[in-house]
Structure 1
Amino acid sequence: MAQPIITREIQYTAADGSQLIGYFAAPDDAQAHAGIIVAPEWWGRNEYTERRARELAEQGYAALAIDMYGEKKVTTSAAQANEWMTQTFEKADTIVQRAQAGLEALAAQTEVDANRLAAIGFCYGGKVVLDLARAGATLKAVATFHAVLATQQPAQAGQIQAEILVMHGALDSMVSLDDVEQFKTEMANAAVNSKVLILEGAKHGFSNPQADERAKANQVDLGYSASAEKTSLAAMYDLLKRQLA
């Protein structure tokens, strides 16, 4: 049975001056809980990301759906999403600075045990949390769903503190299986405790029930898979339980 939760918005500022607004959810009790940042797809900090934060709270975690674009901007247009996402690539430190600001905002909440932190991310948000881990953030676990895996700054030995779990659709046309193999090599070279779960029959966006609608509206190759969503979420919760106990 899901436990009662509280929610609120949290305003915070990144090192680059961006004014960001996160969505916080936590169990409604007097305890300090393990904290998890939830990094969004390229659409921005939308209802989907907020729902994932609430689900985590219902399972006993404190979660912050982070804002990567500023002022909690969201869109359903792939062109607009790509523009905003691309802006965060223009300077090498932007993604990590904004994600780190979100992690610090989460850790500062009274409902959070700052010694037990993790991060999950979807699509673009998967890259966000992987880059945060690559930068040496104090995370115990990182889970990604249909993530962008490529990076200009591969992890070096000793940098990543988290156990990494990557969930990838076998039919993902945006992130290839070659990209997956390169990521595996990066993790092996950096001696990272990591696992890649390949989900048969799943496309990019498999975890989001709105993926088919977004695909049709924007002419992009996305697809929802209820079975892949169920399998990947179960794997994520297993990781969180193991690392944040």
Structure 2
Amino acid sequence: MRTLLTLLCLVPGLLAGSAIAEVEEESSPDEPGTEVNIAWGPRVEGEIFEYSTGGETYQGYLARNVNDSEARPAVLVVHEWWGLDDYARARADQLAALGFVALAVDMYGGGQTATHPDQASEFSAQVMQDWPAARARLEAAMSQLREHPAVADTGMAAIGYCFGGGVVMNMALAGMPIDAAISFHGSPTQAVNTPQAFEGVVQIHNGGADSLVTREDLTAMAGALEAQGADVEVINYPDARHAFTNPGADATGEEFGMPLGYDAAADAASWQAALLALDKALNND
């Protein structure tokens, strides 16, 4: 969207007619430097996005640039084991500002979140131990998202954090219809019993000092994805611990005695790599 900004200089003491004449003279298109074209940046707005499956209602968060009248590719954001919280919504907002329609999904139902690691572990384990039900939740979200008028029919991608990273890796392993699966400090636990062909991109961003992810599990997941035809890239960030993209990781780790930590360099590098992969996968660049 473009708007024309004309600068008006009114000199005190002049009659109204004289002031108008001066403005018209200074605003003449024949004189350079009197007109400035201002382009509006994105205006991101978020809203609750409900979808249902298995008799349960899920409350996702849909973010998009309302200044953009064109339909854009969609990206799912799968939250950490805490549930759909402000961090997941903030990542959806970032994607919306960059030209995507982003849906932060609700994997637990009713928008519920955990406040203690024991509760978070219970919630996440219930999801990963019943992959068919987890897949049904994701498919319900994707199906409804495709119907949104702001979403282009050009493909879809998924990114995830911690628990959500494990979810998106399993989405690719299950052959779900996404063009890219990007995991940030994700748990590489295989939940899919019968892997299916997947020809998209899988990026796995892992902390080199993440004591919650073993090299054996990471290698096994990457190998399983490659065996199904995925284009897999695993990137380790030296000294980065678990949850390295979340600025609140240090405080959470201290509160609960967990080996978590934010790493600004790893966060920036992994985000840039992810955006390049999304652009290539969804915008054909």
Change (3 A) 1:145 1:111: same
Shift of 1:2: 5.0
In structure 2, the residue matched to 1:70 is: 109
Query: d(CA) in 2 for partners of 1:133 and 1:188?
Result: 10
Distance 1:146 1:155, change over 3 A: farther
SS at match of 1:88: helix
Q: Aligned pair in 2 of structure 1 residues 5, 176: CA closer, same or farther (>3 Å)?
A: same
Alpha-carbon spacing, 1:167–1:107, altered in 2? closer, same or farther (3 Å): same
Q: 2-side partners of 1:111 and 1:65: how far apart?
A: 16
Is the partner of 1:51 in helix, strand or coil?
helix
Q: Is 1:164 equivalent to 2:198 in the alignment?
A: no
Match of 1:239 in 2: 277
Distance (Å, rounded) in 2 between the aligned partners of 1:84 and 1:179 = 21
- From 146, 151, 158, the equivalent of 1:119 is 158
Percent of paired sites with the same residue: 29
Greater Cα shift, 197-206 or 214-223: 214-223
For residue 258 of structure 2, what is the aligned residue in structure 1? 220
Q: Deviations over 1:74-106 (max 9, x none)?
A: 123111111111222343312212122222222
Per-residue deviation at 1:164?
Answer: 0.6
Using the alignment, how far apart are the partners of 2:147 and 2:264 within structure 1?
A: 35
Is the CA contact 1:163–1:192 (under 8 Å) kept in the aligned structure 2?
A: yes
Residue matched to 1:194:
232
Contact residue 205 and residue 235 of structure 2 kept, 8 A = yes
Tell me if the contact between 1:137 and 1:161 (Cα under 8 Å) persists in the aligned partners. no
The alpha carbon displacement at 1:114 in A equals 3.2
How many pairs align? 243
Counterpart position of 1:129? 168
Where 2:76 maps in the other structure, the secondary structure is: strand
RMSD (CA atoms): 1.6
- Tell me the CA shift for residue 162 of structure 1: 2.1
Deviates more, 1:101-110 or 1:54-63: 101-110
Aligned to 2:76: 37
The structure-2 alpha-carbon separation of the partners of 1:237 and 1:2, relative to structure 1 and needing over 3 Å to count, comes to farther
Q: Does the 8 A contact of 1:145 with 1:167 survive in 2?
A: yes
CA contact (8 A) 1:138 1:161 kept: no
**1:154: how far off?**
6.0
User: 1:85: which partner in 2?
Assistant: 124
Alignment TM-score, normalising by the size of structure 2: 0.81
CA distance in 2, matches of 1:138, 1:187: 15
Distance 2:239 2:106 in 1: 31
Deviation per CA, 1:168-214: give whole Å up to 9, x if none: 00111111112121122212322211100111111110000011111
Aligned counterparts of 1:36 and 1:99: Cα–Cα separation in 2: 12
Cα offset for 1:155?
6.6
Measured in 1, the distance between the counterparts of 2:172 and 2:161 equals 15
Work out whether residues 24 and 62 of structure 1, in 8 Å CA contact, stay in contact via their aligned partners in 2: yes
**Preserved contact between residue 22 and residue 67 of structure 1 (Cα < 8 Å):** yes
**SS at 1:118's partner residue?**
strand
Q: Which residue of 1 aligns with 2:142?
A: 103
> TM-score w.r.t. structure 1 length?
0.94
Higher RCO, 1 vs 2 (CA within 8 Å, ≥6 residues apart): 1
Structure 2 CA distance, aligned partners of 1:11 and 1:152?
A: 25
Work out whether 1:208 is the aligned partner of 2:254.
Answer: no
Distance 1:174 1:80 in 2: 18
Instruction: Give 5+ residue unaligned stretches, structure 2.
Output: 1-39
Deviating more after overlay: 228-237 vs 183-192: 183-192
| Structure 1, unpaired ranges of 5+ | none
